[in-house]
Structure 1
Amino acid sequence: MSVLQVHQIPVLNDNYVYLAHCPESGATAVVDPAVSGPVLAEAERLGWRITHILNTHHHADHVGGNLEIKEATGCTIVGPKPDKARIPGIDVELDESDHYMLGAAEARVFFVPGHTRGHIAYWFEESGCLFCGDTLFALGCGRLFEGTPEQMWSSLSKLRALPDETLVYCAHEYTQANARFALTVEPQNEALRARSARIDAARAQGEPTVPSSLGEEKATNPFLRADKPELSEALSLAGVAPERVFAEVRSRKDNF
């Protein structure tokens, strides 16, 4: 198996698009191209030929560059089978537990509905990379536009089960605002307080806070901690089912 080289491209107001390059084969995927121009220019600068697009879900700020990149490169567009009708130019449809080869690098696919009804995520185990779109953010998770709290908690639980050293390549720079919210629901979490300070320092220097490690998400992200007694107790929900605790956290974030 090959270890991917990942290059992060900031676009729009707060999106991240990723180039994932397999050095052994030369294959290069664009993950969730919101736009085409900056992506094509960056790939050319790096000398990487785009061969694939990996889409996690159908929102325009994740698929907006699909057709222009495909026209320019002839690449293969890969996306979620449950949402194939809403993925422009889709060639390959993937679902839960499928495996997909990007050159010599293998991805395992997770079906993670909640933010949308057809969301998937790609885990490259050998590379330690998780491309999770808008399901999991650094210190947050996506809004429930098309799914239920029960679905999203189940989806996040799948991702939480991955190794701590996994790098979480989410699609937005929301971390500082997410940290401010997280401190309102778990103010006594010392790991969270320390992480929030590091985030503020990084953003003051214009530095990205993504990727994060899954280990630090498990310790500090309230949306992954709905089954932790310290969080449910902080919310006066001791003994309540994790799905209900998660729903309460999500509701508070929606109104934060």
Structure 2
Amino acid sequence: MSGRGTLDGKTALVTGASRGIGRGIAVRLAEEGARVAVHYGTNEAAARETVAAIEAAGGTAFAVGQELGVPGDAAALWAAYDRLSGGAGLDILVNNAGIGISSPFEQMPEAEYDALFAVNVKAPFHLVREGLDRLHDGGRIINVSSGLARTAVEPTLIAYAMTKGALDVFTRDLSKLLGPRGITVNSVAPGIIDTDHTAPRIRASDEAWQQAASVAALGRVGRPDDVADVVAFLASDAARWITGGWLDATGGSLL
């Protein structure tokens, strides 16, 4: 891939990288020279499309499958990663995988609440905890949060927003724990991003699209690369003095 090579020689694991924001992040890190482990939960075909796109552009990647939010998920994912990476260790972990929507507060079943927290909070916690011996000193952990963690613009998504708030606390406290090893930990918070996940809502009509665009101060709907560029910056040495941070990648939706 033709990039600046700011991540040459680095290895990255991006969870939920088969499509959407995760795919954008995986491709962007590969553009900078990283070897990327493309994690997927169930959609192996989509993950292999991400890998193929990276390889077609001259990058290096491999797919790692493991459903998250189930008992033993972190240990199983790391076992698969170790096997496929050849025991390469890890420089960059991007916790992107998550359930991106929730039922309204009044209708929330207990099982859905538990699944949200299992995937969005518990899985990243244990992936980091069980992966610390693989993460190199001076490494990067980047957690994909949400603008909804800081605003009640969509209060019907309260449970989803709660998971992202918990993830941000994880980011803050983990940055203190891992600081002595030179490992930075940051959250990136997207706003409305045009993906196959959001398409049924924001592409339902011209009016829906314009409404989504009007939320951002910059006057358009976000793209996966808008978020991926921020992640690539945090993964680089240029962001070596940033840790415990919460970076607003909403295009000015929270002003």
Higher strand share: 1
What TM-score, normalized to structure 2? 0.35
What TM-score, normalized to structure 1? 0.35
Higher helix share: 2
